[in-house]
Amino acid sequence: MISDEVLQSTDALLFGRRTWQVMAAAWPTRAGDPFADRMNALPKYVASRALGADDLTWNSTLLPGGDVLGAVRELRERDGKGLQVMGSASVARQLIEHDLVDEYRLMLEPILLGGGKRVFPETGQQRRLELVSATTTGTGVLMCTYRAA
């Protein structure tokens, strides 16, 4: 499964508060398949000013002071596979704005919703990308990996 491959190249996950709350409520009860087991085992970092360290479960750590940018810069200096953002549009937008994204893994779903949260900054700054890979799943999801050109 493609998603399994993505998680195998990840050392930790980064979430905003709302996405973490949804994921932490759902994933710990799932077990027995490689993706769920890996999701539950990975360390998680949470950007939040509303949650306290005592509120966190699911192998999660609160970023100090909610400082996403400083924490990600520090985490990037460590050796390892990588830090992955799932969902968390506002966190992703901040990382993109400050050139802290090395690779984009975009999933294009075969459905139009006509709305949603913006992931990309509205600054108008051009960021050239190169396509690394593109795969279509059996359900028609297009999985594209891009890196900064």
The ranges assigned to domains in the chain are 2-148
**pTM attached to this predicted model:** 0.86
Task: Give the architecture-level CATH label for domain 2-148.
Answer: 3-Layer(aba) Sandwich (3.40)
Position 1 pLDDT exceeds 50: no
Counting beta carbons within 10 angstroms of the beta carbon of residue 13, is it exposed (0 to 12), middle (13 to 18) or buried (19 or more)? buried
Residue 97 contacts by C-beta under 8 Å, 6 or more apart in sequence?
Answer: 121, 123
Task: Calculate what percentage of the chain has a pLDDT beyond 90.
Answer: 57
Residue 135 CB-half CA count within 13 A: 11
Position 18 pLDDT exceeds 70: yes
Position 76 pLDDT exceeds 60: yes
Q: Count H helices, E strands: the chain? A: 5, 7
* pLDDT tier for residue 42 given thresholds of 50, 70 and 90: very high
Question: CB–CB of 56/74 below 8 Å?
Answer: no
Both ends of the chain: CA-CA distance in Å?
27
* pLDDT tier for residue 66 given thresholds of 50, 70 and 90: low
Average pLDDT over every residue of 57-78: 88
Q: Phi and psi dihedrals of 20, rounded to 5?
A: -60, -45
Q: Using one digit for the tens of pLDDT, what is the confidence trace for 101-127?
A: 999 999 899 998 888 778 888 888 899
